[in-house]
């Protein structure tokens, strides 16, 4: 089809840009075909088509389509308006619609429809419960929401791929996180967005609100501040603190690597792993792989391989220089990839040229996790690697944190763990890997579906078992 003059059609429509058009037109043969043709010609994907009724010989319909972005949607609507006799009555952005008023709410467990229940749930009965907790603060786990509540805390400095967008703009993501906690871990989570970027202020604020929570999930806080915040909170609090951008990603990466090794008859301890991106996720991935027995890891940042002798390293990168890259290899990403078994990308788009992957060992793994645009196009990576994973839902083997954090917190809350240990994370990764049956393992199926409700249960069980196995340590 010849491109229309002035058209700016984006390449790939997405459900994340879903729109509903309410329209009416003469009830004549061929009119609907004209509507669907315009949507297709403009590069949109047609969704549901509903009949609302026929009034005065005019067909009323509601038509859903998917666009690549808002500008693309505007182009489609403008093209539809050019159809003579067709009237566009309303256009609804479905994503904005489901966010109206927020995505979560608090629900009471009791119906306060009689005096006796009110008297027990609130005054005067509640006073006796308060006295019990005052005498023994640990009773808050028994008689309040504390035992099943997690604070999802951010300062809005590293939100998704959007960066520093502020606490208000971070709220929709934190609400979404709370939904995932509830859906896949039966955990009540609450979004807490802080108007400060100061490390000590963030730590102090979380410590002050901690009595009401059984765990703290740090989210979308920029590196390297996130490392310091997490470590300080671990020192001061007696409840689990978990930075999901670090550890959730790391757990799922390890799970994927375990199953990739099963398929290729490789051993984690024998792998040469190149991790591009030395931020929160990259550091956590390196640490969990070391805990699982992998010793040959090369971390790369914008300046290339992190090695002893570099003078531009912050404290965390100095730690990496001391604990990774055992042969002290130098050079850029391309040089590091030579004779490697695994590439893990947690950086940004276009970091790796596909032909660089030729230098990897046979049956290599490419985990290109930058989202929405991976470090290397997955279609190109598949030409050279045995197994390819991404952070996207429209490719096989999605590395998604939701497979990890709901079950990890569920297990930790169940046993009232004071911290989430490295052993718990490794146990969680192994549990996720086991959720793919041996008969179902395949190069395009090394990770369970994010909609597999059994994953959260298995991860929680593994975390509990690891806790009890090491309860005296």
Q: Which residues are catalytic?
A: 122, 177
The dihedral built from the CA positions of residue 208, 212, 216 and 219, taken in this order, carries a sign that is negative
- In whole angstroms, give the CA distance from residue 79 to residue 42: 8
Strand partners, 299: 275
Residue 212 DSSP symbol: G
- In whole angstroms, give the CA distance from residue 184 to residue 218: 18
Cis peptide, bond prior to residue 245, ω within 30 of zero = no
E strands within 360-424? 365-368, 387-390
Task: For residue 319, give the nearest of 395, 228, 257 by alpha carbon.
Answer: 228
Task: For residue 252, give the nearest of 116, 114, 390 by alpha carbon.
Answer: 390
Query: Residues with Cβ < 8 Å from 402, sequence gap 6 or more?
Result: 180, 184, 450
Is residue 145 within 8 A of residue 188, CB to CB? The reply is yes
Is residue 360 within 8 A of residue 384, CB to CB? The reply is yes
Cis peptide, bond prior to residue 224, ω within 30 of zero = yes
Task: For residue 129, give the nearest of 104, 113, 146, 150 by alpha carbon.
Answer: 146
Q: How far is C-alpha 363 from the chain's CA centre?
A: 27
- In whole angstroms, give the CA distance from residue 189 to residue 102: 14
What dihedral angle (degrees, nearest 10) is formed by the CA atoms of 149, 177, 281, 253? Answer: 100
The DSSP annotation for 293-355 comes to: T--EEEEEETTEE--TT-SS--HHHHHHHHHS-TT---S-HHHHTTT-SEEEE-S-TT-S-GG
Task: For residue 159, give the nearest of 143, 177, 141, 179 by alpha carbon.
Answer: 177
- In whole angstroms, give the CA distance from residue 14 to residue 378: 18
Strand partners, 191: 152
Structure-block tokens of residue 68: 């690549």
Residue 391 in 3-state DSSP?
A: coil
Burial track 370-402 (b if 16+ CB lie within 10 A, e otherwise): bbeebbbbbebbbebbbbbbbbbeebbbbbbbb
């Amino acid at each position: 089809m010849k491109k229309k003059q002035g058209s700016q059609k984006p390449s790939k429509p997405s459900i994340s840009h879903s729109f509903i058009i309410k329209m009416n037109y003469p009830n004549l043969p061929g009119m609907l075909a004209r509507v669907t043709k315009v949507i297709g010609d403009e590069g949109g994907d047609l969704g549901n088509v509903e009949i609302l009724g026929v009034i005065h010989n005019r067909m009323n319909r509601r038509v859903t389509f998917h666009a690549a972005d808002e500008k693309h949607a505007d182009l489609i609507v403008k093209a539809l308006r050019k159809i003579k006799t067709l009237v566009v009555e309303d256009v609804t952005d479905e994503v904005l619609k489901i966010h109206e008023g927020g995505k979560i709410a608090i629900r009471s467990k009791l119906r306060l429809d009689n005096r006796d229940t009110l008297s027990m749930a609130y005054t005067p009965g509640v006073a006796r419960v308060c006295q019990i907790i005052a005498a023994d603060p640990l009773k808050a786990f028994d008689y309040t929401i504390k035992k099943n509540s997690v604070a999802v805390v951010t300062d809005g400095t590293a939100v998704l791929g959007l960066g520093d967008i502020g606490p208000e703009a971070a709220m929709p993501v934190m609400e979404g996180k709370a939904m995932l906690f509830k859906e896949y871990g039966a955990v009540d989570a609450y979004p807490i967005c802080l108007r400060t970027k100061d490390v000590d202020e963030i730590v102090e604020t979380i410590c002050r609100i901690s009595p009401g929570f059984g765990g703290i999930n740090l989210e979308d806080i920029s590196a390297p501040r996130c490392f310091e915040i997490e470590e300080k909170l671990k020192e001061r609090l007696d409840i689990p603190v978990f930075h999901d951008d670090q550890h959730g990603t790391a757990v799922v990466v390890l799970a994927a690597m375990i199953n990739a090794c099963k398929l290729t008859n490789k051993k984690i301890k024998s792998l040469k792993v190149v991790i591009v991106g030395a931020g929160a996720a990259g550091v956590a991935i390196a640490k969990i792989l070391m805990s699982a027995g992998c010793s040959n890891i090369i971390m790369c940042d914008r300046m290339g391989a992190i090695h002893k002798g570099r003078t531009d390293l912050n404290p965390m990168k100095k730690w990496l220089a001391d604990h990774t890259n055992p042969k002290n290899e130098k050079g850029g990403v391309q040089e590091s990839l030579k004779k490697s078994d695994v590439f893990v990308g947690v950086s940004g788009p276009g970091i790796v040229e596909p032909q660089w992957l030729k230098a990897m060992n046979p049956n290599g793994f490419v985990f290109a996790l930058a989202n929405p645009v991976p470090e290397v196009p997955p279609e190109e990576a598949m030409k050279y690697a045995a197994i390819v994973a991404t952070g996207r839902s429209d490719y096989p083997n999605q590395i998604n944190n939701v497979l990890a954090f709901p079950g990890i917190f569920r297990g930790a809350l169940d046993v009232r763990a004071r911290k989430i240990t490295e052993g718990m994370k490794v146990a969680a990764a192994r549990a996720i890997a086991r959720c793919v049956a041996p008969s179902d393992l395949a190069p395009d199926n090394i990770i369970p579906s994010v909609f597999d409700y059994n994953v959260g249960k298995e991860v929680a069980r593994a975390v509990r078992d690891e806790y009890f196995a090491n309860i005296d340590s």
